[in-house]
Homo-oligomer: A and B are copies of this chain.
């Protein structure tokens, strides 16, 4: 499974402050994605850098992805020329066109404008990536009740038809081009029309979606890992996030977008939520590690040593293993109430706020050849000027 951070949000939330996001926010989210080993890719549009000109901000994002992280990244899909810029910069970074043809380097997300439409700009981007042999995720964007009928089987049939149409087009253009079968399936609130996330319907859709992807023998993207409609980092944000992340694990997803930082139905990339999601992800990665059953883990000697009515704190078996025998939380607290009160009675969100700041401070830019960095900067400056920004 590959876990990617939040994608596509126009706003950011930091503590109690919610505002339009900037390039500085963008860069901080890239740095967090670089720092956490649970996150496998640096991401794409982690948050919209609204303080940069619209025509050329894809260049700012790509430069940040390439210089602040050495994890794989996502490409721009807002137009054909922006996709071409992504490929050109990837060629500079990885040593030329042949290199990226040999081993694809950029994964991009192409949404279907459901029902049953592909948008011109996204389609143009998809064609650029396909021509360059780079994989895309073809994702029907389905909120049942709006873009699909109000029943799960109908939405799954539509999802399959739409995604396979994209996959087939890619294979017609370039047989063998790598591709990921995408899904993004939830429902609207039929009273208000607003989107809902982490719903029982989306969980069922995920389980069936994974089965369908395996039927077609294709790698599969679940909608996301930490989806929620909540406006703030509260209990709802946490249970809805886990109600999407655990089904993603159980359904065998290969690519999990939005695995950290998503808030408010995807309008907000939130720093504190990023930490809550990382904790959930770490717990599940541990919970899905196969159980080792051996003489040693059965620990009969510890029972012989302790007998009945004693305790295992000081047993030899315990003393040999206490440092790493259990999952150690990043965020969760099990402090007793009195100690917790003395230390400021900080809830999980308040603690998350300290954690992301510490982790951000620990970021170091990865090693990158000076000549490549210079070539990237020259390319960005040239394209920015051509675009009139």
Which A residues fall within an 8 A CB radius of B? 18, 113, 115-117, 144-154, 157-158, 187, 189-190, 192-201, 203-204, 208, 229-243, 246, 250, 264-265, 267, 276, 279-280, 283-284, 286-287, 289, 291-294, 296-300, 302-303, 306-313, 315, 317-318, 321-323, 325-327, 329, 331-337, 340, 345, 347-349, 352
Kindly provide the distance from the CB of A116 to the nearest chain B CB, expressed in whole angstroms: 3
Q: Are A231 and B199 in contact (CB-based, < 8 A)?
A: no
**A149 proximity list for chain B (CB < 8 A):** 299, 302-303, 312, 315, 317-318
A300 to B158, CA, bound (A): 10
Residue in B243, B276, B309, B337 whose beta carbon sits within 8 Å of that of A116 in the complex: B309
Q: Assess A231 versus B280: contact at CB under 8 Å? Given A150-B322, A204-B291.
A: no
Please give the count of copies of this chain that the complex contains.
2
Q: Are A230 and B332 in contact (CB-based, < 8 A)?
A: yes
Q: Assess A201 versus B306: contact at CB under 8 Å? Given A148-B312, A150-B321, A318-B149.
A: no
**A229 proximity list for chain B (CB < 8 A):** 332-334
Residue in B116, B204, B250, B303 whose beta carbon sits within 8 Å of that of A115 in the complex: B303
A367 to B284, CA, bound (A): 47
Chain B, Cβ-Cβ closest to A323: B190
Residue in B203, B309, B327, B334 whose beta carbon sits within 8 Å of that of A192 in the complex: B334
Q: Are B308 and A348 in contact (CB-based, < 8 A)?
A: no
Residue in B116, B200, B242, B313 whose beta carbon sits within 8 Å of that of A287 in the complex: B200
Q: Are A239 and B236 in contact (CB-based, < 8 A)?
A: no
**A238 proximity list for chain B (CB < 8 A):** 234-239, 242
A232 to B197, CA, bound (A): 24
Chain B, Cβ-Cβ closest to A332: B236
Kindly provide the distance from the CB of A196 to the nearest chain B CB, expressed in whole angstroms: 5
Q: Are A200 and B284 in contact (CB-based, < 8 A)?
A: yes
**A291 proximity list for chain B (CB < 8 A):** 152-153, 204, 208
Q: Are A298 and B231 in contact (CB-based, < 8 A)?
A: no
